[in-house]
Amino acid sequence: MTSECTPRFLASDNTSGICPEAMKYLLEANQADDLAYGNDRWTARAADRFREMFDFDCDVFFVFNGTAANSLALSAMGRSYHSVICHELAHIETDECGGPEFFSNGAKLLTSPGANGKLTPEGIEALVTKRSDIHYPKPKVVSLTQVTEVGTVYSREELLAIRAMADKHDLRLHMDGARFANACAGLNASPAELTWQVGVDALCFSGTKNGLAFGEAILFFNRDLAEDFSYRCKQAGQLASKMRYVSAPWLGLLESGAWLTNAEHANAMARYLSEGLQALPGVSLMFPTQANSVFVELPPHAIEALKTKGWTFYTFIGAGGARFVCAWNTTVELLDQLLADVKSVLE
């Protein structure tokens, strides 16, 4: 990127700012002192709001980021000598720098292929039955990402099939919900329909990608797994002393409904971009656009030319290609600029 061009951000929903609803509650929480370490009234209200929203009496914890959420949740779901089955493109495998293995004191990730970034019951069973000797880290957890790392979603039927396979082999089910809101929006499904009603034991729900500055919620539907979990958070440096500054913005998302409208907007922008890109000669999608990201193959010269024009996007995610991610504040105007630039660099 040359210095004279203004950077334009479609690299990730992590590049967006704080949405107005979250900011409103953040400023309200800042009007008065309150108790620390999650004992404040905002955190209690946010946890209760999650239980109402999911229609389930789950345990709720707040941490700073998604890697911590995944790593700590997984460390509570199995022992150090167990293994976690995940897709070969899973973020816990590719982008968390060994966090899940570190915080579980050694649990091994066993990866499985699968079309469109999705685990399959057959792929899970192949890893479970591959070996049964003492030298093989015993599979105990299945971790799936909803929305997947390549922008696809698991249907309820696919989730139920994975749950059935997990039951067959006494496995627990973790959901990396970095873009869970986008899955609810994309499938027009309720949070309950995509979690405990299909047998998810624990959900890591990202607020960061949904309009917060930071902040992830960990929901345990299998409450036995949450025993002493707050101590895990504290030991990992994930117990915020001023927790209200994490939980109050979350409450803003939940009480305003922005958690869903932000996701619906991001998904709609991705559909707009996807259709625009597909209309360009020589451009094809790598994966179906089912949530808020679009993956396309572009020639190297086009990638470099776009970056020179100030576009920021990743090329290392998933199976290569260029990933464009839309967020709560992505505009049609920005996407039209990208589409015009893609057209020009391909000519």
Ligand X SMILES: C[C@H](O)[C@H](N)C(=O)O
**Residues engaged in binding ligand PLP (CB under 6 A):** 14, 65-67, 70, 91, 145, 149, 176, 178, 208
Q: How far is the CB of 117 from ligand PLP (least distance, A)?
A: 10
Q: Closest approach of Cβ 66 to ligand X, in Å? A: 7
Q: Which helix (H) or strand (E) holds 70?
A: helix 66-77
Choose the one of ligand X, ligand PLP, none that binds residue 67, judging by a C-beta under 5 to 8 angstroms depending on kind: ligand PLP
Residue number with CB closer to ligand X (89 or 171) = 89
User: Which of 14, 337 has the CB closer to ligand PLP?
Assistant: 14
Q: What does the alpha-carbon distance between residue 123 and residue 95 come to, in Å, rounded to a whole number?
A: 22
Q: Work out how close the CB of 314 gets to ligand X at its nearest, in angstroms, rounded to a whole number.
A: 6
312: contact with ligand X by CB under 6 A: no
Nearer of residues 58 and 175 to ligand PLP, judged by Cβ: 175
Q: Which two tokens mark 112?
A: 């499985």
How far is CA 202 from its chain centroid? 13
Query: Any contact of residue 197 with ligand X (CB under 6 A)?
Result: no
**Sequence-distant (≥ 6) Cβ neighbours of residue 23 within 8 angstroms:** 249, 252
Among 82, 87, 91, 172, binds ligand X (CB under 6 A): 91
CB of 281 to ligand PLP, least distance (A): 31
Cβ-based nearer residue to ligand PLP, 68 or 283: 68
- Residue 219 near residue 59 (C-beta atoms within 8 A): yes
User: 22-54 as b/e, with b when 16 or more CB fall inside 10 Å?
Assistant: bbbbbeebeeeebeeebebebbebbbebbeebb
Sign of CA dihedral 250, 67, 176, 199: negative
Residue closer to ligand PLP by CB (options 88, 176) is 176
In 3-state terms the chain splits into helix, strand, coil percentages (rounded to 5) of 45, 15, 40
CA dist., res. 90 & res. 183, Å (int): 16
- Tell me how far, at minimum, the Cβ of 109 lies from ligand PLP, in Å: 14
Distance CA 332, CA 169 (A): 47
Nearer to ligand PLP, 65 or 337 (CB): 65
Does the footprint of ligand X cover residue 95 (CB under 6 A)? yes
* Residue 65 contact partner, candidates ligand PLP, ligand X, none, CB within 5 to 8 A by sort of partner: ligand PLP
Q: Given candidates 12, 43, 210, 262, which one binds ligand X under the rule CB under 6 A?
A: 12
Instruction: Measure Cα distances from 184 to 54, 191, 250, 264 in Å.
Output: 12, 6, 17, 9
Identify what 317 binds: ligand PLP, ligand X, none; CB under 5 to 8 Å per kind: ligand X
Q: Are 14 and 65 in contact (CB under 8 A)?
A: no
Q: Which residues bind ligand X (CB under 6 A)?
A: 12, 14, 91, 95, 317
